[in-house]
Amino acid sequence: MHDIDPQLYADDADQRLATLKRLRLMTPRPELLGTNTHVHTNYSFSAFRSPAEAAWLAYVSGVEIFGINDHYTVDGHPEFADSCAALGLPATFSIESVAMDREAEQSGLLLNDPGNPGRIYLCGKGVTKRRDPAATAMLATLRSHQEDRNRAMLDKLRQRFAQVLEETGPDWEAVASQTPLGNTTERHLARAVFDYLQAGNYTPRFLAIVGDNPSGDPAKDQNTIRSNLLKAGKPCYVTEAPEAYPSLGGLRQLYLQLGAIPTYPVLGNPLTGAEEDIDALCDRLEAWGIQALELIPSRNTDDRVAAVLAAAQKRNWPVFDGTEHNTPVLEPLLTRWGSDPRFRPVFREGALVLLGHQVLRAAGEPGYLDDQGKALPDGRERCLAAGLSELNRQQAA
């Protein structure tokens, strides 16, 4: 990874934006090597400390089209838009949440959550109605369920600190202050525990609280905290409330209210029962009203990427790619698979469809879907043309 100017994650947003503009004047755009329409920012959980930092690293990494995709929120979209615009970097705007299919849950069917039957991660790609009142209210409700659970787990963590070390442990401010608007996750809890332990005699306290010796790597230690304390069956785990997960149809409708394309992120290897037969999975998705796929290529093998792309192309569905970056580890923004000449053209077309969908919807025209969320017969081609035109316009500016 490239050296990072600390002004890119300064407290002041105007300062972050001014830094981007200054750095752009000093740094020619490198060769464009791939697309990435799925990264999380600090508005959920991320290795990036601001949308500006994420945009800068995409710029210097040769990302051609770049997309934000936070959990349960679109609040990072404005800064992401300003940051990418300052760099002449075409941007896409998306969101990710979790739904529950009760029938699949009851039958024990695993989809793209390998540990929880019936649970489905679903993205809304190409948000064009960020301020829709009904969607805003539903997202606030979903975040409140997440916060209630995180507060309950923090209470258990603090009880553990009191029992084991006779200390208070981290407070809620240490958790919520990590993200600009308090959209907290398990990973924020793990980081708060890590930071608290760092403030004292780290190694013996880590061992006492977590049950393992620290690794010496902050990201690995945070992951160990999460896996040893916060996952199912561990001492500080709290079961999610059923109402925390909307139905698949309800989440799909939320994304349509946001003007986005409901999209299924294919988990990758190892395969779950529902994903083993990719054609059967696509049939299931189509019955659910989902006609777009996403891949995180680094989780897959060459054969698996090829199979997913082939299944989507048979249906004329776009396929988007990304890297997530929703862990403490700052990984590269482009993957070997995403830049592979066998696969890159398909991912590039997907990113262009997404870009074009945003452009057309902003102009009051239909995008990839009709009002009921069904792919229009000419939707993919119109979005592809509009996306290519927008890409050329921005690159010529």
Give 173-216 pLDDT, tens digit per residue. Answer: 999 999 999 999 999 999 999 999 999 999 999 999 999 999 99
Residue ranges, CATH 3.20.20.140, the chain: 6-130+258-396
pTM of this prediction?
0.96
Q: How far is CA 277 from the centre of its chain?
A: 25
Question: Which residues on adjacent β-strands are paired with residue 90?
Answer: none
Question: Which residues on adjacent β-strands are paired with residue 264?
Answer: 293
pLDDT at 283 over 60: yes
Lowest mean pLDDT segment, chosen from 1-5, 213-217, 319-323, 379-383: 1-5
Q: Where are the alpha helices (DSSP H) in 166-294?
A: 172-176, 186-198, 202-210, 218-225, 248-257, 278-288
Q: Residue 396: exposed, middle, or buried by beta-carbon count in 10 A (0-12, 13-18, 19+)? A: exposed
pLDDT at 280 over 80: yes
Q: Which fold has domain 6-130+258-396?
A: TIM Barrel (3.20.20)
pLDDT at 72 over 90: yes
Residue 303: DSSP 8-state? H
pLDDT of residue 271: 83
